[in-house]
């Protein structure tokens, strides 16, 4: 274990599997006390992974971890997370809003309840958790807020439309419009909060993979296609570490992609326990 995040307390949402679990494990390997949250406390057979399994891997390597089972679509549930982190570890230094929900369908087929659910989890939950964590961060001399985003914020090419274009086909069949809209709103809010919170030494950034991360959950649900760029989870975890450990005045107000950021900073991707660098081909 390293000590880059020694004495820091980090909350990571959606940490039962995938990118969230990878970030939690990487932060713990750097000495952070991590509070992980998701709906799935115990393995349920529906999707791989659980909070319990993530916590077991962290503790097996000597890390400190606390689990908070919560449904981020429920305002009452999400209001418990920051207070519980403060009660258990004494404060909050880092908040990583990773949890997200998506239903990839053309906009004309999106029911109102799905639109509301997407914004509850992808926008309102990160906003409210950030608002709740700020007080503790200020008391502790500063902090870092990282909101996970997506390249679905990018607009499709305008007319004339080419039916052979992959982006056009994607929007016709499994459109990311709703998901991308929630992430676009989150990016704009993050950039504004970064400017607002600079005087109190709190960095706010958004981070997205270059295209797709081949996490167990994404593969199981079919959220990524067969021709997607398969970015390792470790790359997102390493990029998150950089955005949540470097001086706040140095990296804030950025809406970045993981691999270009790591190249910009000259950082090597490591295994989740921080012990071994991955070969260059992985990123």
Joined tokens for residue 221: 């649900």
Phi, psi of 205 (to 5 degrees): -140, 165
CA neighbor of 178 nearest in space, from 257, 96, 101, 98 = 101
CA neighbor of 26 nearest in space, from 209, 211, 241 = 241
Spell out the SS3 assignment of the chain. Answer: CCCCCCCCEEEEECCCCHHHHHHHHHHHHCCCEEEEEECCCCCCCCCCCCHHHHHHHHHHCCCEEEEEECCCCCHHHHCCHHHHHHHHHCCCCEEEECCCCCCCCCHHHCCHHHHHHHHHHHHHHHHHHHHHHHHHHHHCCCEEEEEECCHHHCCCCCCCCCCCCHHHHHHHHCCCHHHHHHHHHHHHHHHHHHHHHHHHCEEEEEEECCCEECCHHHHHHCCCCCCCCEECHHHHHHHHHHHCCCCCCCCCCCEEEHHHHHHHHCCCCECCCCCCECCHHHC
Which residues are bridge partners to 66 per DSSP?
Answer: 35
Given the residues 114, 123, 161, 179, the one annotated as active site: 179
Task: Give the dihedral of Cα atoms 8, 13, 17, 23; nearest 10 deg.
Answer: -30
- Residue 281 catalytic? no
- As annotated, the active-site residues are 179
């Amino acid at each position: 274990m390293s000590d880059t995040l020694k004495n820091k307390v980090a909350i990571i949402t959606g940490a039962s599997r995938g990118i969230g679990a990878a970030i939690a494990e990487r932060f713990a390997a750097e000495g952070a006390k991590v509070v992980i949250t998701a709906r799935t406390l115990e393995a349920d057979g529906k999707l791989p992974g659980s909070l319990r399994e993530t916590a077991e891997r962290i503790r097996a390597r000597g890390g400190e971890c606390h689990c908070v089972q919560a449904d981020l679509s429920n305002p009452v549930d999400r209001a418990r997370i920051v207070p519980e982190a403060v009660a258990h570890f004494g404060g909050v230094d880092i908040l990583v809003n990773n949890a997200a929900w998506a239903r990839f369908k053309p906009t004309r087929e999106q029911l109102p309840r799905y639109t509301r659910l997407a914004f509850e989890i992808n926008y309102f939950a990160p906003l409210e958790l950030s608002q709740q964590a700020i007080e503790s961060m200020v008391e502790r001399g500063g902090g870092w807020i990282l909101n996970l985003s997506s390249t679905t914020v990018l607009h499709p090419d305008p007319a004339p439309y080419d039916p052979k274009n992959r982006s056009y086909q994607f929007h016709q069949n499994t459109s990311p419009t709703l998901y991308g809209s929630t992430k676009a709103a989150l990016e704009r809010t993050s950039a504004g909060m970064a400017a607002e919170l600079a005087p109190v030494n709190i960095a706010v950034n958004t981070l997205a993979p270059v295209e797709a991360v081949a996490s167990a959950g994404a593969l199981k649900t079919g959220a990524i296609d067969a021709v997607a760029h398969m970015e390792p989870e470790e790359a997102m975890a390493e990029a998150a570490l950089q955005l949540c450990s470097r001086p706040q005045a140095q990296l804030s107000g950025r809406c970045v992609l993981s691999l270009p950021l790591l190249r910009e900073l000259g950082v090597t991707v490591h295994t989740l326990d921080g012990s071994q660098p991955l070969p260059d081909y992985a990123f």
